[in-house]
Amino acid sequence: MTQKIKRTIGYILALAIIVFLVRVLYQTWGDLTATGFRFEFDFPKLVTSLILLVVARAFAMEAWRQILFSLGEKIPVVFGLRAWFVANLAKYIPGNVWQVATMMAMVERHGVSKTNALLSQIVYTSFALAIAGLLGLMFVVIRPEILNGLIDPSIASYAPIIAAIAFTILVVILAMPITNRLIVAVASKIMRREVHPPESSFAHGLKPPIFSLAMWVTNGIAFYLFVDSVVPTSPTQLLAFIAMNAGAYWIGYASFITPSGLGFREGVLAWMLGSFMPAPVAVVLSLAARLWSSGGELLGVAVVYILQPKESDEPVV
């Protein structure tokens, strides 16, 4: 299958899923309005959620920067933020390579080798997806009823303990030098390049997964505030929203075939949100969440450009 055909199929699938969600919205909206339901907008919470999105992505950048450091490369925090946010915008360009390509071009101008730039992205993505996947699985522990009796509902009361144990184990595994060597070995085969990074200590190895976990938790809190700014939601559901945000991202990323997980992420998010609110409201929020996320990314770009004026020797995107 050629890349062009695959991309076309991806767009068709994404469109089909979105059409299905809109159809559900159309068919059920009348029932919703009959109940007297009204959206309630809380502007301060919405603004706070956007600010937290920027903070979350700063945590993600720091996880990636610490990985670069373990590879013997150093970049300043402010430059790292700018490279991260600007490269993030490139994912909206058709094709799946522009985000990484933009990142590589920017950091290379700052003295980072192409090999280490690419390797750092592979390692970071491995960590981020591992943590997001585990967080996504936690959703069925927090909301076992969503699986229609496949899991004992009483397990929900143990969710905080299960989460603490599971993530402690995962962070320790990801921080181990042997894990780092394994990821580098696999990445070097993917890149078809010989890679011999400096030996990383366990103490330094803790930093990337901890920052990555902080990113997902902060992003989940931001998502909860976004929903709560439109539909009042109990704070007791915060853990569930952290889990569903990460889980929906993981599904979207793993879909591969659609651009930026378009359609798949919204579909899964609508399904998860549907366990808290009427279906049409869940659909509206799942579709609006992508716009909200893009708004946070644009805010981040504005912030880093204010912090550091554009340098003439860096590539324009």
In sequence order, the 6+-apart residues with CB closer than 8 A to the CB of 54 are: 296, 299, 300, 303
**Structure tokens that stand for 307 in this block:** 């912090």
Give per-residue pLDDT as tens, 39-56.
678 889 999 999 999 999
pLDDT of residue 18: 61
- pLDDT, residue 235, reads 93
| Chain centroid to CA 127 | 12
Task: Report residues of the chain scoring pLDDT below 50.
Answer: 311-317
Calpha distance 115→46 (Å, rounded): 40
Q: Output the pLDDT for position 7.
A: 58
| Separation of alpha carbons 156 and 143, rounded Å | 7
Please tell me the predicted confidence (pLDDT) of residue 316: 36
CB 120 within 8 A of CB 103: no
- pLDDT at residue 317, as a whole number: 38
| pLDDT score at 180 | 82
Note the pLDDT of residue 213. Answer: 95
pLDDT tens-digit map of 156-210? 777 888 888 999 999 999 999 898 888 878 877 777 777 767 777 888 889 999 9
| Average pLDDT score over the chain | 81
Structure tokens at 57: 């992505």
Q: What is the dihedral of CA 229, 235, 237, 243, to 10 degrees?
A: 70
pLDDT at 122: 87
d(CA 198, CA 73): 10
| Confidence at residue 92, expressed as pLDDT on a 0 to 100 scale | 65
Structure letter (DSSP) for residue 308: S
